[in-house]
Structure 1
Amino acid sequence: MLINQTFLKLYKTPLLLVFASALFYIAFAYDLQRTDYIKLVMFYVALFFLFYKLIQFFKHNIKGLTYIAFGFRALFILAIPNLSQDFYRFIWDGRLILEGFNPYLYTVDTFINNGEFPVAQAQELRDGMGNLNASHFTNYAPLNQLCFIIAALFSGQSILGSAIVMRLLIIAADFGTLHFGKKLLEKLNLPAHNIFWYILNPFIIIELTGNLHFEGVMIFFFVWSLYLLHVGKWQFAAVVLALSISVKLMPLLFLPLFFQWFVKRNVIVNTVKQSVSIGEIASSRTPRNDIKGIKKLILFYAIVGITTLLCFMPFYSSEFIENYTNTVALWFNNFQFNASLYYIAKTIGYAYGDYHDVVKIGKTIPYIVILFVLIITFFRKNKTTVQLITAMLFALSFYYFTATTVHPWYIATLLILAMFTTYKFPLVWSFVIILSYLAYISIGNAEKQENLWIIALEYVIVYGVFIWEVFIKKDEATIKTSK
């Protein structure tokens, strides 16, 4: 009894924080409507404050933070996602595959409009996902589809059951991200508790565990790949990176950035292993060393490409290629949500041009992003693991700053990259991203349109922190690059 009293006295404040957080998560999961904006913001702000205090209290107690983070996730197990409709399409795709259909060849409305119901609860799933999702071909990559199939295998007749299975898969992936993220931080001599700015973040718990977005699975494979790359197992890293791409295509953006890591780093690693002097390192930059690095790079790309193609192979057909590429292209040309620079360019385009000029802006964005990635590939130091991750952070940030569509859960990849740097703007973004859910608050608008004032507030904060860290405080934001 005395021990219990002593324990309570010592840990009274953190226990209260955990208890309060649990209550807010329960309310968030089971007693919140997306349109209840005041409650949504109040709950989220409270959870973020409690999250910050918990890390302050437990940053030297990794085991304690782990129990807390996954305990919070467990609170969502029986919840139906309340901030996203995408999971209905996930369930549809998984069940459709088990019925022998290729999900890339049929839209949901192809069946429903013809009075066909190929899966259990077909009409309920179609109503849940909404018109936009139902009228387009699926854009979810094959390893993502595997997760949907597993959900259909274990629960082919219950929407809640399918959601539970998918949630367990995402939680399992978070365990993997914690494991390899912590190991990579230790290898880089960075604080191991940094990983909990991701794992314990309410944004991650709500968007991935709560709303069933599979960025968490993609990030698991991606962090595992970075760890393998850092410890020298680059062939295996290539396979795992391909698995990440096969969940979500986003890591394709990073492929050019590996150039310096292989070609330039190869010289330094080889010479350091031979214990040669700095002068000899400089003189050892011969074409032979560069060629050796280039061969490794080509093999790395080949492994990534072949493994990715093998993952896509079960769904291959000429119609699949056309449908999939057209659906992915829609995100650049047709869909618009929570954009920043694009909205500014769009406004200028309408002021001095017409609709066709605005469409051209959306089509130009991918080329601008590719150009930026190539610039930082060849003109920015990118030889160490930390430099490579930092380059990835900047590349992805530039893409989201210029993108036509930035859904909240997209920021998860930025957040995990930031854990291995000293940049905090992705962490700030994970807090203010809640404003994107308020974008449709009407201020005298007859039509349902985004409120650009709310979006502007979000990006003023994000850009403010970004500019401060990258351009004003850049010397303090630079960490050791010799790791």
Structure 2
Amino acid sequence: MTSFLNNYKMTNNLSLLVILFSCIAYYLFAYQTLRTNFSQVLSLYSFLFVCFYLLYNHSQLNFKTLIYLGVLFRVLFLVAIPNLSDDFYRFLWDGRALFNGINPYLILPKNNPNLIINGSNLYQGMGSMNGSHYTCYPPLNQFAFTIPAIFSDSHLLISTTVMRITLILSDVITLFFGIKILKELKLNTRKILVYFINPFILIELTGNLHYEGMMIAFLSASLYFLFKQKKHLSAILFAGAISIKLIPLIFLPVFYKKLGFKKLFIYGCIVALVNILLFLPFASKELYSNFMSSIELYFQNFEFNASLYYIVREIGYRIKGYNIIQSVGKTTPFIIITITLLLSFLRKNNLKQTLITSMLWVICSYYFLSSIVHPWYIAIPLFLSLFTKYSFPVIWSFVVILSYSAYVNSSYKENLWLVGLEYILVFGYLFAELFQWKFNRKKNL
């Protein structure tokens, strides 16, 4: 049976039928689905993953056709208002504020609902929790938020459409450099489709307008030029990735064996200088305190879709009798730093594939220990996994949809049984891959 599934190829007519059903499902997801309707979200998402599996593994369509198909699926979302996330309202707020000459790091939407055109509507859309703290998005991300305001600082649909076009272009850049990295590593270029036509990427990045896609575009270009020995250009692009989302900072130590101490120091200085220059237009006395207060609030007060953290929290309840998130939030960074340094110094990261594998373990360790893991975060490990022998992030990109069960009611109460099922499947597949790799290694000795 397994052999039959591996060798089975769909006819072109059947492939076209799968494409048609995929288009219908994406349309329903984009325009006819609310996140409160979890059964519909789960059903459509699962159906799209089945279609994705068939197209990737069993279609006779050529590589270019599947790439064009990925573009087509993205275009289906073009004029949709995001329905699974309200973060884009804050993105638009920050962008319109900056477009009107207002420093977004110095204002609270809660205290200034009418400071910009339709500001009160954007504040209502983002919610009081999002609007009651200072923005935590780095400067290049702020400039990206401003692009929609250039075309319209009042019309919601025009703004979201422009925003979506920039993110589609980001995915095309990731496609371009992803293929180049796969060729550099002598891997099958078809693997990029695991990212480019994955329903998770289409829905979370193109559909819900999350800027992980733009960050990954910078990161992919940076890695390619690092492998081509163009270190200064790589550093500038890496700085761009950090200035979209701060999370790539965690990867810097992993470059130690690839670059050596002296070159890594220069690389880090370029990254720091670029980010300082990008922050300069926003410089003020309150910038640092406001920015860091939001970062600290985020890590020490919010909980969502966590794995190992929830186990530690439960132990804390039993021992202390209360939620220990603040003390865990202060301890976790030291654990992550230790894991990162061990992976940086003990592994052969001078080898390209080993380096990316170490990056994958670093980011996954971070997310496994975090108190908050939003679905779109998985885009980074999914992208990195393309260049390794591991595919558990693909499984994660599917089962992460279970976290949306929290939005069934207005209290956003998580169904911990479903969260538990998500991570049982992720860790189960991860350990199965590790065991299989270890078994094959012993077999070949």
TM-score, structure 1 as length reference: 0.87
Work out the CA distance in 1 between the residues paired with 2:441 and 2:200.
Answer: 24
Q: Indicate how the Cα distance of structure 1 residues 138 and 12 shifts in structure 2: closer, same or farther if over 3 A, else same.
A: same
- SS of the equivalent of 2:361 reads helix
Paired residues of 2:313 and 2:323 also in contact (CA < 8 A): no
Paired residues of 1:469 and 1:477 also in contact (CA < 8 A): no
- Tell me the equivalent position of 2:269: 302
- Tell me the equivalent position of 1:336: 303
Residue range with higher mean Cα deviation, 120-129 or 357-366: 357-366
> Is residue 2:408 matched to residue 1:436?
no
Work out the CA distance in 2 between the residues paired with 1:297 and 1:145.
Answer: 28
Q: Indicate how the Cα distance of structure 1 residues 477 and 127 shifts in structure 2: closer, same or farther if over 3 A, else same.
A: farther
Paired residues of 2:392 and 2:430 also in contact (CA < 8 A): yes
Shift of 1:359: 2.2
Question: How far does the alpha carbon of each residue in 1:213-248 deviate from its partner, in whole angstroms, 9 at most, with x for none?
Answer: 000000000001000011111111001000010000
- SS of the equivalent of 1:110 reads coil
Q: Indicate how the Cα distance of structure 1 residues 319 and 476 shifts in structure 2: closer, same or farther if over 3 A, else same.
A: farther
Paired residues of 1:58 and 1:64 also in contact (CA < 8 A): no
Paired residues of 1:59 and 1:193 also in contact (CA < 8 A): no
Work out the CA distance in 1 between the residues paired with 2:137 and 2:63.
Answer: 34
- 1:98-113 matches, within 5 Å, as 98-112=99-113
TM-score, structure 2 as length reference: 0.94
> Is residue 2:385 matched to residue 1:408?
no
Paired residues of 2:12 and 2:60 also in contact (CA < 8 A): no
- SS of the equivalent of 1:473 reads helix
> Is residue 2:388 matched to residue 1:421?
yes
- Tell me the equivalent position of 2:57: 56
| Counterpart selection for 1:164 from 142, 161, 169 | 161
Question: How far does the alpha carbon of each residue in 1:405-451 deviate from its partner, in whole angstroms, 9 at most, with x for none?
Answer: 00000000000000001101100000000000013557xxx965211
- 1:451-462 matches, within 5 Å, as 451-462=415-426
| Runs of 5+ unmatched residues, structure 2 | 1-9
Residue range with higher mean Cα deviation, 328-337 or 161-170: 328-337
Shift of 1:59: 7.3
- Tell me the equivalent position of 1:280: none
Q: Indicate how the Cα distance of structure 1 residues 166 and 475 shifts in structure 2: closer, same or farther if over 3 A, else same.
A: farther
Paired residues of 1:441 and 1:450 also in contact (CA < 8 A): no
Question: How far does the alpha carbon of each residue in 1:332-370 deviate from its partner, in whole angstroms, 9 at most, with x for none?
Answer: 200110011111111111111143744211211111111
Provide the alpha-carbon RMSD of the alignment.
1.7
Work out the CA distance in 2 between the residues paired with 1:424 and 1:21.
Answer: 23
Shift of 1:185: 0.3
- Tell me the equivalent position of 2:78: 77
- Tell me the equivalent position of 1:449: 413
Q: Indicate how the Cα distance of structure 1 residues 375 and 330 shifts in structure 2: closer, same or farther if over 3 A, else same.
A: same
Q: Indicate how the Cα distance of structure 1 residues 24 and 118 shifts in structure 2: closer, same or farther if over 3 A, else same.
A: same
Work out the CA distance in 2 between the residues paired with 1:380 and 1:326.
Answer: 35
- Tell me the equivalent position of 1:226: 223
- Tell me the equivalent position of 1:6: none
Question: How far does the alpha carbon of each residue in 1:377-419 deviate from its partner, in whole angstroms, 9 at most, with x for none?
Answer: 1122211111110000000000000001000000000000000
- SS of the equivalent of 2:286 reads helix
Work out the CA distance in 2 between the residues paired with 1:307 and 1:358.
Answer: 34
| Counterpart selection for 1:146 from 126, 140, 143 | 143
Work out the CA distance in 2 between the residues paired with 1:144 and 1:340.
Answer: 28
Q: Percent identity?
A: 45
Work out the CA distance in 1 between the residues paired with 2:159 and 2:419.
Answer: 34
Q: Indicate how the Cα distance of structure 1 residues 453 and 16 shifts in structure 2: closer, same or farther if over 3 A, else same.
A: same
Question: How far does the alpha carbon of each residue in 1:236-287 deviate from its partner, in whole angstroms, 9 at most, with x for none?
Answer: 1001000010000010000110111112xxxxxxxxxxxxxxxxxxxxxxxx
Work out the CA distance in 2 between the residues paired with 1:75 and 1:326.
Answer: 38
Q: Which has the larger radius of gyration?
A: 1
Give the residue type in structure 2 aligned to 1:25.
Y
Question: How far does the alpha carbon of each residue in 1:172-230 deviate from its partner, in whole angstroms, 9 at most, with x for none?
Answer: 00110000100110111100010010010000000000000000000000001000011
| Runs of 5+ unmatched residues, structure 1 | 1-8, 264-293, 479-483
Work out the CA distance in 2 between the residues paired with 1:150 and 1:334.
Answer: 31
Work out the CA distance in 2 between the residues paired with 1:120 and 1:194.
Answer: 44
- Tell me the equivalent position of 2:28: 27
Paired residues of 2:92 and 2:145 also in contact (CA < 8 A): yes
Paired residues of 2:317 and 2:323 also in contact (CA < 8 A): no
Give the residue type in structure 2 aligned to 1:450.
E
> Is residue 2:285 matched to residue 1:318?
yes
- Tell me the equivalent position of 2:5: none
Work out the CA distance in 1 between the residues paired with 2:58 and 2:418.
Answer: 33
Size of the aligned set, in residue pairs, is 433
- Tell me the equivalent position of 1:285: none
Shift of 1:33: 0.8
- Tell me the equivalent position of 1:262: 259
Paired residues of 1:91 and 1:152 also in contact (CA < 8 A): yes
